[in-house]
Structure 1
């Protein structure tokens, strides 16, 4: 699993992509309306591609609602990731103490590993002695 900062960066990238997709959806499927008395909606010629594919109001609103929910969900995921990062709750001294504690655990684990290696070597030496006695001379 990726570290928290990588997860946060990926979530931010996804949020930006979602924003672009939402803008595209709204820009591509909005209803054609004029906002002022001088505004005119141009007539399209037969060979011109449609710039806007107007959706019925219910479908358009449902799409907007789904996009908004997705954006909110992603934003909440980002907030959670940010809350798990060390920050104001963990001072530099606390973080240093945590590192020192982890280093002590590593030293203890290494000592246990070395003891296990010594025990293994001793057992192998005794086993070789036992097997050596039981072998027939060649």
Structure 2
């Protein structure tokens, strides 16, 4: 179960990283657009120009849209992977009563295994004692 939880945590972390990468892509490669005739773009030095920020590298509209589409598909795939991992977690298909019954069954199996272990330890000690007595009774010729 820990393995599934680890996979789920890794997938959630990757999804968060993909969100950040998507936001960065949109921020870095968007094109400037004036929303009204009175809007103007201002550079850092105060002049009007179409290039308002040195960090922005506008992509052509078709390239930008293709990049957005690819990022969206990656986000959807990662989200579907997370849903699958969640569906594989134990307990979602079992009621609380079923889980309690399973726990009781496992406790009984554990008790039986502990009894077997104690018997094996006793047998081991008996065999060890017998072996020790045989070794002590052996004399050199």
So what's the TM-score if we normalise by structure 1?
Answer: 0.77
In structure 2, the partner of 1:18 is: 18
Extract unaligned runs of 5+ from structure 1.
Answer: none
In structure 1, the partner of 2:59 is: 55
Query: RMSD between aligned alpha carbons?
Result: 2.8
In 2, Cα distance between equivalents of 1:97 and 1:131: 51
Cα 1:27–1:44 change in 2 (3 A) is same
Q: Name the stretch that deviates more: 101-110 or 12-21.
A: 12-21
In 2, Cα distance between equivalents of 1:51 and 1:35: 21
Cα 1:111–1:40 change in 2 (3 A) is same
Give the Å deviation of 1:118: 1.7
Q: Name the stretch that deviates more: 37-46 or 68-77.
A: 37-46
Give the Å deviation of 1:43: 4.8
Any idea what SS the aligned residue of 1:124 has?
helix
Extract unaligned runs of 5+ from structure 2.
Answer: 47-51
In 1, Cα distance between equivalents of 2:20 and 2:34: 24
Give the Å deviation of 1:4: 4.5
So what's the TM-score if we normalise by structure 2?
Answer: 0.75
In 2, Cα distance between equivalents of 1:100 and 1:117: 26
